[in-house]
Structure 1
């Protein structure tokens, strides 16, 4: 098949990806990114002849997407809070839901505040970089157990010219002993239980890093460890912000209220009305 225009090319791509049980919208997303177009640009040009180079690239991209490869890994980048971030198989693809966590933090402090932030399990650096951009007078420290993930995060910080401090290690062990206390600690840790693998999306399960997805104790192990020690690293009036799975709100509230009885736990729902974020203060 040789399409005569963009619409025919995308119709072909959609059908092929549907038959492969892959997300058909990924083809349009990749085409728009390759062309540096918005959706309106596609609508204006969908009946225009598709250049042979664009068609050849689309065929190559669709062949990759049909294997289940996420579009962001194919392109080598993802968008988060307006930032273009390099991503690869060492890092999770930043999600739109996590932008809501960053927005919640921004509601709590003025942009000119001079704060100390800690992002635990930074991955590509998405949360830490978004916070540094939103709070330019603040200091942002980011940690991850994966040295490969930190390479990606450091690359992003350099490209965006945002000054972050990175430490490699497992939770609190990553921090130097003389590291000052933090005003805000934020984490989007692994929270999927192993028994959920059977219902997970193929592309997530087979392409994104498992160590950033799964945790013991029905996905709650990292939250238990955060609760046990977070008070030693926060300022007296500091805040802990976290993302968690949509079925974990009750367990999260119980863990932190039991371990930190003098603290309050606030749960917030995401744009889909699922309880997905917590603030401990």
Structure 2
């Protein structure tokens, strides 16, 4: 059988169980260390036994809703390759927009930065690599997530300090910039979450109490005591949460400006707290 025929069969079967067909070739190319051209040329060749075994393995995992990034063990974020597994969420493209925004709006030589709920370390490490003079700290309530984040920092040679903390409980500050992509999905919105996300990604990093607002409420309560007078807060939010999160932080910081910004798809995605100088 030709490789192209086998791939087509598996892709059809993946679509039937609600998975993206493209995930198969994505994972296969990554594990083979092939370019897209390598893959296209191979489609017209007979499948060798070891390649069939590899495709079988990938297909079985995808069929049982294991994300392709967990299968290959990595995900790209802000031009860097991060190790990912079931301990952490897979970094999303919309979170890259948050990092880009921070870098565009903050060109100071030195800032004290905190990333709350760092997971794989994607935000903190990307900021530290882009701004080597910033003092970047990253926290998470999950010890397992922090272990992986530290591994990523070492692999990417980023200078980041790590601390186990439930939001700001174990942190003292002061901080010039606080960023967080916290758990924000309400358990009432399970139907909006993909099957592979529900099956494989850590629920601790996905869902939050109080209709998804619990972590925002805690940040709003604790941040005023550790944020410097000119400090800023950058948050990723769910697309339905803009107004409520804005209200939370406007009450916590009555003298600051609070903005709700949209992502590339036109959805509310970020809330920014600052002094209105931009």
Tell me how far 1:200 sits from its aligned partner: 2.0
Is 2:199 the partner of 1:206? yes
Residue 196 of structure 1 aligns to a residue whose secondary structure is: helix
Contact 2:176–2:230, Cα closer than 8 Å, also in 1:
yes
Partners of 1:98 and 1:13 in 2: CA distance: 31
Give the TM-score taking structure 2 as reference length.
Answer: 0.93
- The residue that corresponds to 2:56 in the other structure is 59
Aligned residue pairs total 274
Other-structure match for 1:91: 88
C-alpha contact (below 8 Å) 1:121/1:142 kept by paired residues: yes
Q: Which residue, 139, 142, 151 being the options, matches 1:143?
A: 139
Corresponding residue for residue 190 of structure 1: 183
Q: Which runs of 5+ in 2 are unaligned?
A: none
Q: Does 1:73 align with 2:70?
A: yes
Shift of the alpha carbon at 1:41?
4.1
Partner residue in 2 for 1:4: 2
- For 1:117, which of 101, 113, 136 is the aligned residue? 113
Per the TM alignment, residue 9 of structure 1 is displaced from its structure 2 partner at its CA by 2.8
Contact 2:224 2:252 (C-alpha < 8 Å) held by counterparts: no
How far did residue 238 of structure 1 move?
A: 1.2
Q: Which residue of 2 aligns with 1:245?
A: 238
1:264 aligns with 2:261: no
Would you say the 8 A contact 2:2–2:43 is kept in 1? no
Contact 1:143 1:174 in 2 (8 A): no
Whole-Å Cα distance in 2 between the matches of residues 137 and 54 of structure 1?
A: 46
Q: Please report the RMSD computed on the Cα atoms of aligned residues, expressed in angstroms.
A: 1.6
Give 1:53 shift: 2.0
Aligned to 2:168: 172
Contact 2:140 2:166 in 1 (8 A): yes
Q: Which runs of 5+ in 1 are unaligned?
A: none
Deviations 1:30-66 (A, max 9, x none): 0121122343443454334444322321111111110
- The C-alpha deviation readout for 1:123-175, integer Å capped at 9, x for no partner, is 01010111011111111100000001001101111111111100002111132
TM-fit CA distance, 1:183: 1.5
TM-score between the two structures when normalised by the length of structure 1 = 0.92
Contact 2:120 2:152 (C-alpha < 8 Å) held by counterparts: yes
**Counterpart in the other structure of 1:157:** 153
Q: Which of 240, 247, 257 is 1:254 aligned to?
A: 247
Match of 1:46 among 35, 43, 47: 43
CA contact (8 A) 1:150 1:166 kept: yes
Q: Report which stretch shifted further, 42-51 or 184-193.
A: 42-51
